[in-house]
Structure 1
Amino acid sequence: MKAVRIHKFGSKDALKLETVPIPEVGESEVLVRVNAAGINPVDTYIREGSFAVLPTLPAILGKEAAGVVEKVGDGVQGLKEGDRVFTCLPDNGGYAEYVTCKKNYVFPLSERLSFSQGAGLYVPYFTAYRALVIKCRIKPGEVLLIHGASGAVGIAALQLAKACGVSVVGTAGTLEGMELVKSLGADFVFNHKEKGYLNNAVAAIGGQGFNVVLENLANINLGADLTVLNQQARVAVRIPVVGSRGSVEVNPRSLMLTESTIIGVKLMGNTEEEHLEAAGVILKGIEDGWVKPIIAREYALEEASQAHHDIIHNKGARGKLVFKV
């Protein structure tokens, strides 16, 4: 099979398209023929060798994929050859024509979604669920600020929040991104490149401040976030990948005045029970129609280097990047 592997940690040039054996399916595992694989910023950090948990080399990157069940191992029930599925790959492996995955990390993919959309479910939607529901305990009637709402996680958080009865203020850095966020149901949208946008956002919601903030670039925004909080607010910071790319100076007095909390969020922090809880909500959301991943661009595996460049350096995210396999 074709697969994109790294033999050493380094630049995007470390990504090599190679022919490797199809993996053997083990007990309680499923072999999936991949139709699409998600591309995430975390993949670039792993490739560089700067992520907290690194794979043994050589390694096939990729945290999520969607496709068709090719074979099931002993002990697998509820799945059969030919089933459409999406996979959660905490141990990587998605940048390939085939991938094996533990049974409890394989879920049915509704005909409502394409394979490319299925490849954009795990990292964005499970992360959004962990941040907003598990960690921040968001409640109906609250007001959420999403910094970077036009990216894949931002879109997932927006859709989840609206389904939970939460008002949403989203930010984006381009007109196209702002239009996308508005079209997905945000109550208000602001350009985070414009001076005074946070004050305008607070004014738009009546001046009381935000109950919850999902922060996707904490090293830039966290200090200002703490000045626009309501009482008992929660700020979810996605770390250590996109949510924070460096240090930041904050004034602790802002937290004292509102008795607010800053919460770090990592997808790997999910327990097995939390993982299944999130999966249940997302699967129901697909059937109810509110889980709708937006695909910004599809790449061939041969374009892996370009995809890694784009996901970090392109300005104005507008959804999910995926490989079409």
Structure 2
Amino acid sequence: MSLPLSKFLLPIYCVFVRSLHVMSSEMKYVHYEKGGAENLSIRTTNTPALREREVLVKVYASAINRADTLQRKGFYPPPPGESEILGLEAAGTVEKVGSDCTGSWKIGDKVMALLTGGGYAEFVAVPEDILLPVPVGMSLTVAGGIPEVWLTAYQLLHVAGELEKGDSVLIHAGGSGVGTAAVQLCIQAGCKPIVTAGSESKLQMAKDLGAVAGYNYKEGDWSEKVLEFTQGRGVDLIIDCIGASYYEQNMKSIRTEGRWVLYGLLGGGNISGDMFSQLLRKRIRITGTTLRARKLQYKKNITDGFSKNCLPLFKDGSKPQLKPIIDTIFPFHKVADAHRYMEANKNTGKIVLQIRDESSGKTLHDEL
């Protein structure tokens, strides 16, 4: 008995459709026009081509960072030659490995990475040297909230801040992604983190993670409280994303010959008065640092150090010693809401942008 022709054609058709998907050179991404969050939209563009020793990652999750909102407004462009697409981190699976790669990664590996841009998209190209394995048992959605804040916090404390065991560390924005990561890294290093934040819930979160003290900056001068807590000595290290508006209180709070790491200017960048004389009298060392525009070798060194010293602590049995703090997860097509949420300072920890459904791999790209 002869079978219908469709019985033979259907499998061939399915293979053909799958091959078209694999060969597709287009992807969905978040496009922005300079201005407010309402200018974000999902569009189609070319999948990134691989450059020297790069890996193509199929993105399942990214996360919202303050730098993304600044770039959207036109204040923080990507480094020359890098992706104009928003997104400074991503987690996903290896889709393609460059022909000149060393063999460290294979197709299907679960990975995460700090990016110079490109995370708000279905695919992103990443240098193989700065890829990190996703901790065993961790979802790709949660992993999307690790690279930027944890590598930033590691750099601020251990590289720029030269953290030493026993240090007292004043961490501003203690309820932010970087803040919650820095508190945990301080505890692991045997240090005493003190935080500032704008709500009691954020202060309580920091304390739950190990902060020894916390002060609400909306309730007046916190420098006197820091001095009281440190018995008049002042803190050894300040991790500062605020800048000018905190300058006087920071100067009161830091000990003689203390270290002060500046990585943001949320409170402005212009300081008047006797700034230099105060620095001289207390012999303070101020270090300004950013991570996005650093050379690849610098990022590799940071990634290697974090991978060796910190990454294993995310998967230590049923009670990991380090954990990403995820505030909210927004689907890909709700990216504008995610930006508004960050700009309203509602989050304690990370705001994750889920690009794909983890079970099906389907992109969440309904209309905004």
TM-score by length of 2: 0.80
Task: Please say if 1:168 is aligned against 2:199.
Answer: no
Counterpart mapping for 1:1-325 below 5 A: 1-6=27-32, 8-51=33-76, 53=78, 59-76=84-101, 77-90=103-116, 92-239=117-264, 242=266, 244-249=267-272, 251-252=274-275, 253-268=277-292, 270-284=294-308, 285-289=310-314, 290-315=321-346, 317-325=347-355
Instruction: Indicate how the Cα distance of structure 1 residues 20 and 173 shifts in structure 2: closer, same or farther if over 3 A, else same.
Output: same
- Aligned length in residues: 320
Q: Which amino acid is 1:187 matched to?
A: V
Kindly indicate whether the alpha-carbon contact (under 8 Å) linking 2:242 and 2:264 is maintained by their aligned counterparts in 1.
no
Q: Which amino acid is 2:323 matched to?
A: K
Please say which structure displays the higher CA radius of gyration: 2
Q: Which amino acid is 1:280 matched to?
A: D
The CA deviation at 1:55 is: 6.6
Kindly indicate whether the alpha-carbon contact (under 8 Å) linking 1:36 and 1:322 is maintained by their aligned counterparts in 2.
yes
Residue 16 of structure 2 is matched in structure 1 by: none
- Percent of matched pairs sharing the same residue: 29
Hey, what's the Cα distance between the residues in 2 that align with 1:191 and 1:251? Answer: 27
Kindly indicate whether the alpha-carbon contact (under 8 Å) linking 1:5 and 1:60 is maintained by their aligned counterparts in 2.
yes
The CA deviation at 1:318 is: 0.5
The CA deviation at 1:280 is: 2.5
SS at match of 1:226: helix
SS at match of 2:327: strand
Instruction: Indicate how the Cα distance of structure 1 residues 27 and 238 shifts in structure 2: closer, same or farther if over 3 A, else same.
Output: closer
The CA deviation at 1:273 is: 4.1
SS at match of 2:38: helix
CA deviation vs aligned residue, 1:215-273 (integer Å, no higher than 9, x gap): 12113212210012112111111135x4x544233533432331112221111364444
Kindly indicate whether the alpha-carbon contact (under 8 Å) linking 1:116 and 1:295 is maintained by their aligned counterparts in 2.
no
What root-mean-square deviation, in Å, do the aligned CA atoms of Structure 1 and Structure 2 show? 2.2
Kindly indicate whether the alpha-carbon contact (under 8 Å) linking 1:5 and 1:59 is maintained by their aligned counterparts in 2.
no
Q: Which amino acid is 1:190 matched to?
A: Y
Hey, what's the Cα distance between the residues in 1 that align with 2:301 and 2:83? Answer: 33
The CA deviation at 1:79 is: 0.6
Q: Which amino acid is 1:28 matched to?
A: R
Q: Which amino acid is 1:93 matched to?
A: G
Q: Give 5+ residue unaligned stretches, structure 2.
A: 1-26, 315-320, 356-368
Hey, what's the Cα distance between the residues in 1 that align with 2:51 and 2:261? Answer: 37
Q: Give 5+ residue unaligned stretches, structure 1.
A: none
Instruction: Indicate how the Cα distance of structure 1 residues 146 and 138 shifts in structure 2: closer, same or farther if over 3 A, else same.
Output: same
Kindly indicate whether the alpha-carbon contact (under 8 Å) linking 1:33 and 1:67 is maintained by their aligned counterparts in 2.
yes
SS at match of 1:227: helix
Hey, what's the Cα distance between the residues in 1 that align with 2:313 and 2:336? Answer: 37
CA deviation vs aligned residue, 1:195-233 (integer Å, no higher than 9, x gap): 243212221222210111111211321221001211211
Kindly indicate whether the alpha-carbon contact (under 8 Å) linking 1:152 and 1:320 is maintained by their aligned counterparts in 2.
yes
Hey, what's the Cα distance between the residues in 2 that align with 1:272 and 1:61? Answer: 19
SS at match of 2:105: coil
Instruction: Indicate how the Cα distance of structure 1 residues 272 and 2 shifts in structure 2: closer, same or farther if over 3 A, else same.
Output: closer
Hey, what's the Cα distance between the residues in 2 that align with 1:129 and 1:197? Answer: 25
SS at match of 1:141: coil
CA deviation vs aligned residue, 1:100-138 (integer Å, no higher than 9, x gap): 212122221112433233222232122222222222212
CA deviation vs aligned residue, 1:60-112 (integer Å, no higher than 9, x gap): 2111100111121112211111111002211x111012112121222211124
Which deviates more, 194-203 or 167-176?
Answer: 194-203
Hey, what's the Cα distance between the residues in 1 that align with 2:56 and 2:271? Answer: 44
